[in-house]
Amino acid sequence: MSRTRIKICGLTREADVAAAVAAGADAIGFVMYAKSPRYVSPARAAELARLLPPFVTPVGLFVNASEAELAAGLQALPNMLLQFHGDESPRECEGAGRPYLRAARMGEGFDLLNFASQYSSAQAVLLDAHVEGYGGGGKVFDWSLIPKNVPSPVVLSGGLHAGNVLTGILQVRPIAVDVSSGVEEAKGLKSAALIRQFCDAVRQADARIQELST
């Protein structure tokens, strides 16, 4: 059985990167969207990414970024996975020539099957709640809105924390989960204890799935 991968997003401090790595995170997200309280510049993201060991992936979150902004991010972190969280078209997402995740803002009437088919070149679609503005709002959406036959791998996001991620994994069976506000003391300031509790809950979910399959 493939285990559920874990992405901790919105990191701004060295101590938080170290805590995420120690807890077993597979990916670390850096928000390169200037309007976000978790924003880090490409140079700062590169400083933090130097702390990552092999096989922990840096992810750069962008919202309707210009070509110059994307280029600056990729120059600073050439090995990062891109995450598009705005209104980017499939052509714009593919234009950077890098593997990418495409965020889908889930809400009543949203056609995820059509959306995923449009972005078939994405590594996965990241499912987040539909909120005002961009970049994720830390809100849980109705997981029953997710069709069973999504043609792309799914990353579950939106208001996750140690208390609900087990249920989310059991219900949705995503390839990965993405958390930000659910492991924070304040916006952009992570809690090592909450990160550890979240990662432990993901592993508990995987163990439960393995039990159910035997």
* Burial group, residue 149, by CB count within 10 angstroms (0-12, 13-18, 19+): exposed
Query: Would you call 128 a catalytic residue per the annotation?
Result: yes
Is-catalytic flag, 9? Answer: yes
- Distance of alpha carbon 57 from alpha carbon 53, whole angstroms: 9
The residue annotated as part of the active site, out of 9, 16, 93, 178, is 9
Number of H helices, E strands in the chain: 7, 10
* CB count in 10 Å sphere of residue 68: 8
Give me the catalytic one of 93, 128, 178, 199.
128
Round to whole Å and give the CA distance between 151 and 139. 24
The DSSP string of 122-185 is: SSEEEEEE--SSSS--S----GGGS-TT-SS-EEE-SS--TTTHHHHHHHH--SEEEESGGGEE
Q: What is the DSSP-derived secondary structure letter of residue 53?
A: P
Question: Which DSSP letter does residue 4 get?
Answer: P
Catalytic residues: 9, 128
